[in-house]
Structure 1
C-alpha cells in the first residue's frame, strides 16, 4: 500500500497523540522503531499509526485475505467470526480504527482462523482451505482410499519482501522467548537450530481480564506447520509453541506412530 516499508520508522513515546480526545497507551517506551522491532516488542503505537493510515476498509481487506472473519473451508460447521467496523458496532469512530489495528475493538476470530493467518503469512499470501484429514488409508495401510489435494482459497497481491519483513519481525519475537526454568530452558525457541516465527497477543476481554494468543509457523524460512493458540483469560501462550514443535518433530521422526492393525474389534 506504500504506507510503510521495511525501513520506515514510527516513534513510540508510550502515548498515541494523533487524537486530542483519545490517547491510548503502549506497554512500553520504544522510541523510533521499524516494523520488525514493532512486531518483536508488540508496540501498540506503531500499529495504531499504521492502522490509522490504512483505514478500516483496507485493514479488513487484508484480514479477509489472511483468513480472519471468513470461512476456512473446513468440513465442519464453523463460526466465521467478526471483523471490526461500523457494521459491527454503533459507536464506531477513529479511535475504534486504531484499536482494530491491534486486534481489539469488535474483532473476534477462532483459533483455527489464527492458524490459517499464520499459514498465509508463511505461504507469502497464499491461503489454502483448512481440512481435518489429509488422507485415508486402508486398514492395513497398503492402499490410499482418499487423499485431499490442497485448494487455494485466496491470494494476497503483495511483494514477497513484505511477507519476509513480517517474518523477520516474528523471528525476533520468537528469539525473545525465554524458558521458565533457567536450567532446562524448555520453552525457548532460539536453540532449535533453525528460526521459528511467532507473534503473541493479549486481547482484552473485560476491564480486568485478557486472553493470551499466539500465531506462528516453523521453521520460519521453510515452514511445515502453522499454529494458532488461544488461552482464554490466561497467559503465556508463547510457551505452547515449543511444545507443538516438539510434538510435531516426534511424529515426523517416527517416535510416535499409528497403532499397528490387529484383528481385534474395538468399540
Structure 2
C-alpha cells in the first residue's frame, strides 16, 4: 500500500515535470516560429534588400564633363580616353604586396605608393583609389593579362580632361585637378577615384555646371566581391558646355604676336563687353596639372622670371603711365581746371616746390593744349592739369571709366589695382596727401596701378561714347557665332556722365597719336583708312631714376637689366570712323610704348578687324598684316 502511494507520488511528479518541459518546449518552438514568421514574412522586404545588396554592387559613375568652347565652337577644353588602374583596399589581401606586384608591370614609384596609402587611409575601404592613369594601351593590356594575380586591382577606361591648345588658353580656361581633402564636401562624386574638379579659370568658376550629375551601375558580384555581370546602367547627366566670347583664331594670333615677350593683352567689343582675346604671356600647359605635375615641372613654373602662373591680364597690376592721360584731361575739363584751349608751355621740366618734374622729351614740347598734349604725350601739360584738378576728382573719373575696381569678369583671382585718394593715403599710410603727388598721378605713376583688362575697358568706354560697358567672357545665351546687334546691347549700359564735347577732345587726341607728323605712335599706324586705329602710348617706370642717371643718361632703357626696364603700354580702339573694338597691350619691361606695345596692338587690332568676330563669319575677307606703316620711335 505504501509502495503504491509512493509510485503514485512519483508519477504525479513526473507528470508535472513532463507538463512543464512540454510547455517550455512548446513556448520555445512557438517563439522560434514567431521569430521565423517575423523574419521571413514581416521583414522579408528588408532582408531581401540586404541579400540583394550583398549580391549587387552599386557603383557611382562620373558624368562626362562639359566642354569649353570658343564663340565659334572650337573646343578649348574637351575629354579623351583615360586608361587607368585602381585598387580597392577591402578586396586586396595585402595592399603593399599588390602595389609591389604592379610595380613590376608598370612604373609605380615610392611617391605613388605613398600617395595611394594616404588616400586609402582617408577614404572608405570599398572606395577604389587610383594607382596610375593615362596609361598606354600596351601597359593597360599587360595589367589586364595579369589581373587574376592582382587581388583588389580594377582596370578602368574612363575619360580625362584634355586641353588641345596647351598654354594658349591656360589663364582663361584654367585647369582641373584632383580633389583635395579640404574640397571633399558632401557630393559623393568627389570621392570617386581620379575625379577632377576645376582649380582655376572658367573650369573653376563654372565647375558645378561643367561637372554634371552622377550616374550609377548595378553590378552582380559573387561571395568574394568579384564582378559577374552588369545588370543595369544609368550614365547620369553630362555637364553643360560653356561657350566663351573668346575667338580662338584671334587668341592664337595675339599669343604668337607676343612671341618671347612677357606681357598681356585684352580685346573687347566696345558695345557688348564681350572679351574676344585675353592673353597672358607666357602661359603654362594645363595638361600638366590634369595628369599630375612633376616636381621638375613645378620648379620650372615657379622659378620662371616671367611668372607664367599669373594671369597678367587680370592679376598684373601696373602703373598705367601715359595711357592715363585721357582720363586726367577729362577730369580737368569736367572740374573746370582747364578748357580745351588752355595752353601750357613745356620747356622739358616743371619746377614745383623744391622738386623738378621732368618731361620725357628733354628739350620740351613748347606750347601745348589738351589735344596736342595727348598727341605728343607731353608730361608737363598733365603735371599742370593734375595740379589744378586734384587727386580726388581724378580718382572719381578713373572709377567711372572702370579703373580701381573689379571688372566682374568670370575668372578667378582678379585684382582691383589702385586708384589713390587723399582719404586712402591717410587711412592706409597715416600721412596727408602731398601736392606734388598730384603731378605724379597726372602721368599715371606714383600709387596708381591698373590691370590690362581695366585699361581695355577704359578705352572701350571712351570709344562707345561713355557707356559703362562691363566685360564678360561667357556667352549668356550659350549661342555660337557673332554678337547681338550693338544698338540693342548698348541699351543695357548706363552712361558714365561725360559731356560729349569733352569726350570728343580726348578721342581727337587719341586719333592724332597714331597720325603724322607728331603722333607718338605714328610709326605703328594702320594705313588702310577703313581699319584705322586711334590709341595712346605709355611707358611706366618700375624704379626711381636718379638725377645722375637722368643727366648723364649712362644707359639706355634696353641696356639695363630686364627687371629695371620700363613697362611698355598701349591702348587703342578701331576703326576710327565707326568704333567697334578696343584693346590694351602691356609688354613687361619692354621700354617704349611706341616701339614695343604699339606695334603689337596694331597687329592685334588689324587681325581683329580682319576676322571681325562680332559681326561676320570666318570666311569674310579683310586686311593683312602687311598693310601697316614701318615702326618708328616715339614717346
TM-score after normalising by structure 2: 0.36
Aligned residue number for residue 599 of structure 2: 239
In structure 2, distance between residues paired with 1:40 and 1:220: 15
Contact 1:211 1:234 in 2 (8 A): yes
Match of 1:137 in 2: 479
Asked if 1:10 corresponds to 2:340, the answer is no
Q: Are 2:379 and 1:44 equivalent residues in the alignment? A: yes
Displacement of 1:95: 1.5
Contact (CA 8 Å) 1:25, 1:45: kept in 2 or not? Answer: yes
Q: Check whether the contact 2:531–2:609 (CA below 8 A) recurs between aligned residues.
A: no
Runs of 4+ with deviation above 4 angstroms: 148-154, 253-257
Show the counterpart of 1:162.
502
State the 1:20 CA deviation: 2.3
Q: Which residue of 1 aligns with 2:459?
A: 118
Higher relative contact order (CA 8 A, sep 6+): 1
Residue 224 (str. 1) matches residue 580 (str. 2): yes
TM normalised by structure 1 equals: 0.82
Structure-1 separation of matches of 2:448 and 2:504:
25
Indicate the residue corresponding to 1:26 in structure 2: 359
Structure 1 residue 133, shift from structure 2 partner: 2.8
Q: Which has the higher helix share?
A: 2
- Superposition deviation, residue 76 in structure 1: 2.3
CA contact (8 A) 1:81 1:108 kept: yes
RMSD, matched Cα: 2.5
Please list every run of 5 or more consecutive structure 2 residues that lacks an aligned counterpart in the other structure.
1-334, 545-563, 621-635
Question: Among 100, 103, 123, which residue is 2:441 paired with?
Answer: 100
Q: How many residues align?
A: 242
Deviation at 1:153? Answer: 6.0
Relative distance call for 1:190 and 1:93 in structure 2 (3 A) is farther
Offset of residue 222 of structure 1: 1.6
Asked if structure 2 preserves the Cα contact closer than 8 Å seen for 1:250 and 1:256, the reply is no
Contact 2:531 2:606 in 1 (8 A): no
Higher Cα Rg, which structure = 2
Q: Provide the C-alpha distance between the structure 2 equivalents of 1:109 and 1:42, rounded to a whole number of angstroms.
A: 19
**Residue 239 of structure 1, CA deviation:** 0.7
Distance 2:533 2:384 in 1: 27
Instruction: Output aligned runs, 1:184-195, within 5 Å.
Output: 187-193=524-530, 195=532
